[in-house]
Amino acid sequence: MGRERIELKSPEEILAMRKSGLVTAAALEAVRAQLVPGAQARDIDQVAAEAIRQAGAEPNFLNYQGYPASICLSINDVVVHGIPGSQVLRPGDLVSIDCGAVLNGWHSDSAITQAVGPVGARAEVLMEVTRKALWDGIAAFAQATYVGEIGAAIEASVQAAEPSFAVLRDFVGHGIGRAMHMAPEVLNFASRQRGPKIRPGMVLAIEPMVVEGKPATSTDRDGWTVRTVDASLSAHWEHTVARTETGIWVLTAPDGGEAELAARGITIAPLA
């Protein structure tokens, strides 16, 4: 990992990525309102696509390596890359939405998990544990020396909250910029590999995926849909985050991450 060439962004480029990040944030906010019983997945996908295009951007998932939609919509045991189609949301479903935009050549990527109406207590805990682990990983990025410290913080957060949950190891976070997936890989778990040294200008998509049961997964015949082998529930949260000369800035959070990071003793460092 330490030998990969990592693209470092200038302050002007980070500002451009912030504009893209706000488009993705707005699209996810539009989608949140659609996650209700009876909603059809392909209609939700269309809402996201329209929100992105109305902002002057394009969905960066659409046609990426042949992917056929503008968002990934993953229900219950589907961890990532669920293709929105004829699925109809039901009360009690746990839905993860992964969304991205490209604006003026700059990519952003973010994900949320939301319940469709009331869900069981364990599902609520899974959502919150994963969301908290994301922010603990972002807080680590603000202070860490090496990228590997992010994954260690994420896994420690999950295990401290609920030891029976497992962090998925098959899929990881990534660098992002002029391309959606770039070096370095960002593990969501502790590893003996410390990873590259963190430097100002590094922009990462940090995205823990946590499952209720065992971390083993399988991929459906469509070549995309990844689900837990034991049919256990999953959750996925993600933000695009920049490390600047003066600190951290969450590009896909409308407040730049201020509220969550302040609760962890960290002040964000927006460039404008």
**pLDDT (0 to 100) of residue 272:** 82
pLDDT tens-digit profile of 172-227? 999 999 999 999 999 999 999 899 999 999 999 999 999 999 999 999 999 999 99
pTM exceeds cut of 0.85 = yes
**Tell me, what amino acid is at 10?**
S
71: left (phi over 0), alpha (psi -120 to 50) or beta: beta
pLDDT tens figures, 58-76: 999 999 999 999 999 999 9
pLDDT attached to residue 4? 66
Q: Which two tokens stand for residue 59?
A: 């969905």
**How far apart are alpha carbons 183 and 161 in whole angstroms?**
30
The pLDDT score that the predictor gives to residue 1 is 38
Cα-based distances in Å from 154 to 116, 129, 149: 26, 10, 9
Taking the C-alpha atoms of residue 205 and residue 164, their distance in angstroms, rounded to an integer, is 26
Task: List pLDDT tens digits, range 150-179.
Answer: 999 999 999 999 999 999 999 999 999 999
Q: How far apart are the first and last CA of the chain?
A: 32
- Rg of the chain in Å (alpha carbons): 17
Q: Are strands 226-228 and 203-206 parallel, antiparallel or unpaired?
A: unpaired
Q: Residue 2 has what pLDDT?
A: 41
11-262: in CATH 3.40.50.300:
no
Predicted local distance difference test score (pLDDT) of residue 171: 95
* Over residues 49-57, mean pLDDT: 98
**Residue boundaries of the structural domains of the chain:** 11-262
Confidence of residue 77 (pLDDT cuts 50, 70, 90): very high
Q: Is the pLDDT of residue 11 over 50?
A: yes
pLDDT tens for 12-49 read 999 999 999 999 999 999 999 999 999 999 999 999 99
**What does the pLDDT look like over 110-153, one tens digit per residue?**
999 999 999 999 999 999 999 999 999 999 999 999 999 999 99
DSSP 50-91: HHHHHTT-EESSTTGGG--SSEEEEETTEEE-PPPSS-B--T
